[in-house]
Amino acid sequence: MQTRKLGHNGPEVPVICLGGNVFGWTVSESDSLNQLDHAVSSGLTFIDTADVYSRWAPGHQGGESETILGKWFARSGRRNSVILATKVGMEMGEGKKGLSARYISQAVDDSLRRLQTDYIDLYQAHTDDTETPLEETLGAFDKLVKAGKVRHIGASNYSGARLAAAIETSRKNNLAEYVSLQPHYNLVERQTFESDLLPVVQKYQVGVIPYFSLAAGFLTGKYRRDAQDSQSPRAAGLKKYFNPHGYAVVDALIDIATQHNATPSQVALAWLLAQPGITAPIASATSNKHLDDLAAAANLKLDQASIQHLNEASAPVPA
C-alpha cells in the first residue's frame, strides 16, 4: 500500500488508517482477531484506537479495543509490523479524564498494559483540555517520548487556534510537538476543517488523519432516498444527513463509483486522499469484504472531473 509522511517530522504511514473503535463492540473479539490478520496482510498496517473504546457500550468500561489489539500482538508476534495510534483524555470514569501530567502518566501505562507493548507509535490527545496549561500537557508528552514509551504525539478535536498555540508552545519550550491532527472531516462534513483547521495544518505541516471518513456509513451508498435501510435503528444517528444535500452527495458518489468500477466507499476515501493536507483517512470495517474495500481505496485515483463533481455536490450549504 502507498504511504505518506505524517507531518513534516512524523513516520511514514499507509494512506488508509484502520479504525479500531469496532473491536469488541460491533465486532466480536474472535472476529476482530481474525480481521486484524486479514487487515495487516492486506497492507492496512496503520491502526487507530483509543483508551475509551468502547466505554459507551452496555457493560463496557473502556479499554476493550486496546485489549483486543494487545491479544492480537501477543498471538501474531507482529507488533513491529503495525503503526499503532491510540488516544488519551476522554472520560474513563472516577475522575480519569483530561490532559494533566499526572493523568497522562497513569493513562499511558494503562494503555501499554492493555496493548501488551512497550511503545506507542502515535499517542494523541483525544480532545482539548482547556483547564490544563498547554505547557503541562506537552511537557508530559515530551517525557513519554524521551522515555521511549511514545514515538510521536498528535491531537484530535482541537480548534485551529488551539492547535497553533500548542505547536508554538512546543517550539518555544523545546518540547515534542504534535505531528498530526485527527479532525471530523468527510464529504458531508467539510466546513469546520476547511475553514478553521486547513490553514493551520498547512502552515505547520501537520499530518491529517480524519475520522468518520465515511460519515458513520452514510457515504457507503447504503442509505438512499426512501430506502428501507434509512428506517433501520442503525440509521438513527445519520438522520442529519437524510436531506437533499446529503442525498445529492450520495448520488454523485454512486455516479462516479460506476464510472470507475469502484464502490462509493472507495470513492469517498479517494476524494479525501485528493484533498489538501490529508495524509490518511480513518475508516473502520466489520467484515473482510469491508477491509478489502478500504485497501482498494488506497489505489483509486480520481480524475479532476470526478473530484470537481464531488466538490460541487458536497459544497457546504450556507447557514
pLDDT at 215: 96
**Mean local confidence (pLDDT), 94-106:** 95
Over 70: is that where the pLDDT of 164 sits?
A: yes
Q: Give per-residue pLDDT as tens, 41-91.
A: 999 999 999 999 999 999 999 999 999 999 999 999 999 999 999 999 999
Reported confidence tier of residue 95, pLDDT bands at 50, 70, 90: confident
Over 60: is that where the pLDDT of 228 sits?
A: no
Candidates 53, 103, 123, 223; catalytic one: 53
pLDDT at 230: 56
Reported confidence tier of residue 223, pLDDT bands at 50, 70, 90: confident
Over 80: is that where the pLDDT of 212 sits?
A: yes
pLDDT at 226: 65
Over 70: is that where the pLDDT of 319 sits?
A: no
Active site residue 53: yes
Q: For a pLDDT cut of 90, what percent of the chain falls above it?
A: 92
pTM of this prediction?
0.96
Between CA 245 and CA 317, with CA 284 as vertex, the angle to 5 degrees is 15
Domains of the chain: 3-221+263-302 (3.20.20.100)
Which cell numbers hold the place of 129? 483540555
pLDDT at 60: 95
**Mean local confidence (pLDDT), 227-245:** 73
* Dihedrals phi, psi of 77, to nearest 5 degrees: 70, 20
**Mean local confidence (pLDDT), 240-263:** 96
Over 70: is that where the pLDDT of 125 sits?
A: yes
Cβ neighbourhood burial of 107 (10 Å; 0-12, 13-18, 19+): buried
